[in-house]
A and B are shown apart, each in its own frame.
Chain A
């Protein structure tokens, strides 16, 4: 059940670039998510296609209220009266006050903060991509080699059993999940975001088309945000379970206490 007690070598695990981008993205995603929920609240319905079906039905997801009771609906499945979605603290709003920035209904301010952090996020992401590719870090740290795929199942089982290996490099599950976030979810957030911009649409009409239309892009943007939120929860739980002080030290100072038997060099 427990991780080895004998302390291994202190290894340099995260470069300065990794640590800076990690915390920059953490701050950006905090603001982007909570202002995103504010923006969603202005029209809490998601559709599939180019336009929103008012006289026809292309609704995918909907947070609303009926007779003062809030509900959340995915396709035809509706959950009512949860007290969080659609109606909370005596007011009818899709996401509650505590989940939005600003806390009151304020689409204008939500958009101002959203786009401010979106710019920081995009610029940091581009800089990181270029830097990581140039330094060959992606191949070393994130690439899933044959051996990682082979060990993936065992690694997954070990994680479910809260049995963590503290290696000098990322394990298969870490490579796969960080790779999905960095190369699938992050780019998807940026592309679906741009696909909602009428200005960007004129420059690149193929972008909303590729994503199934502007309203589909909005739906995917929300879905990717939900996936990132899910990743965040699991990520934090894993950090807490794997040894929060060691993990935090690694992401702040770069130094990480590996298991005994792990090589000290990086």
Chain B
């Protein structure tokens, strides 16, 4: 009987050691297979296309993200990424309370626009209390006020063939050998024309604070935080983003994050 027990213990020990060694080795081996340009990595990334197709297929085009009550605003909106841009153009505008700010709307539009903050604030306002979900995992509820992007796109007139809205930002998020890398993002026209997609100039009943993207940031409530560009300088309608940045449609996308961030 004791022999039997010993055998079992030995077996158990061998099994456990084997399992832990394979886990240790497995993780290191997998690092190479999941490197940015590996074929396996690119194959696995296609699960994101499936997620997008499924969510777009199941979701009503205008299905709204959950909205909350004023009592749910229990803390300031937690900022992330760049929170205090030091770019000259931005600092100049900030010093004057963004009085000289002009949002440029161009690219594949019939009528390019140049809109001051006052003009944007005079447009139809949508207010929404929504939950901001960061890709890191945390959530924070705040009230946002701004003009629906669909309204601005309507004024400019989107030319046929345009597929994406590109947000150019003021803030330098990284300095590389080839110069400053500024934040940018792209969304498709479905999200651009969604009723809750707004160019926000206000937050929690006040002007949009600098850490949260003053003077203008975009809210895209059915996706994660990194899609919602802050410090927006210009909006450009484009049909292809493969020649911009590293060609994946956004600063974080260029660094391996999925373009569709609805999950």
Contacts and interface: CB of A to CB of B under 8 A. Distances in A.
Interface of A: 1-2, 30, 34, 39-40, 42-43, 45, 47, 50-56, 97-104, 106-109, 111-113, 115-116, 118-119, 162, 196-203, 205, 208-209, 214-215, 218, 236-237, 240-241, 244
B138 A50 contact: no
Nearest to A119: B47
Interface in B144-171: none
A198 B223 contact: yes
Nearest to B134: A43
A200 B55 contact: yes
B24 A98 contact: yes
Given A52-B139, A112-B258, A115-B263, A102 B34 contact: yes
Contacts of B206: none
B74 A202 contact: no
Given A52-B138, A244-B15, A103 B78 contact: no
A17 to B, nearest CB: 23
A56 B74 contact: yes
Contacts of A1: 1, 4
Nearest to A194: B263
B51 to A, nearest CB: 6
B66 A205 contact: yes
B122 interface: no
Contacts of B252: 108
A101 B11 CA distance: 28
B179 interface: no
A34 B258 CA distance: 19
Contacts of A45: 138
Contacts of B110: none
Q: Which of A115, A209, A215 has the most CB of B within 10 A?
A: A115
Contacts of B175: none
Contacts of B48: 112, 115
Contact of A108 (B8, B223, B257): B257
A2 B1 contact: yes
A201 B66 contact: yes
A215 B64 contact: no
Nearest to B263: A197
Contact of A203 (B26, B55, B136): B55
A237 B163 CA distance: 55
B217 interface: no
Contacts of A55: 74-76
A102 B27 contact: yes
B37 interface: no
A2 B7 CA distance: 12
Contacts of A100: 27
Contacts of A39: 137
A202 B23 contact: no
Given A104-B31, A119-B47, A214-B131, 6 more contacts: A42-B136, A43-B138, A50-B72, A101-B30, A208-B66, A215-B139
12 contacts: A43-B134, A43-B138, A51-B138, A102-B30, A102-B31, A103-B28, A198-B222, A198-B224, A203-B60, A203-B63, A209-B66, A244-B11
Interface in B67-85: 68, 72, 74-76, 78
B189 interface: no
B34 A112 contact: yes
B129 to A, nearest CB: 11
A107 B261 CA distance: 13
Nearest to B58: A203
A50 B68 contact: yes
Nearest to A56: B74
B133 interface: yes
Given A39-B137, A115-B51, A202 B222 contact: yes
B246 interface: no
Which 6 A-B residue pairs are closest in the complex by CB-CB distance?
A199-B262, A108-B256, A55-B75, A43-B137, A52-B138, A116-B44
A236 B65 CA distance: 43
A103 B38 CA distance: 17
A54 B134 contact: no
B151 to A, nearest CB: 21
A214 B133 CA distance: 9
B177 interface: no
Interface string B231-263: 000000000000000000000100111100111
A241 B8 contact: yes
A121 to B, nearest CB: 11
B204 to A, nearest CB: 13
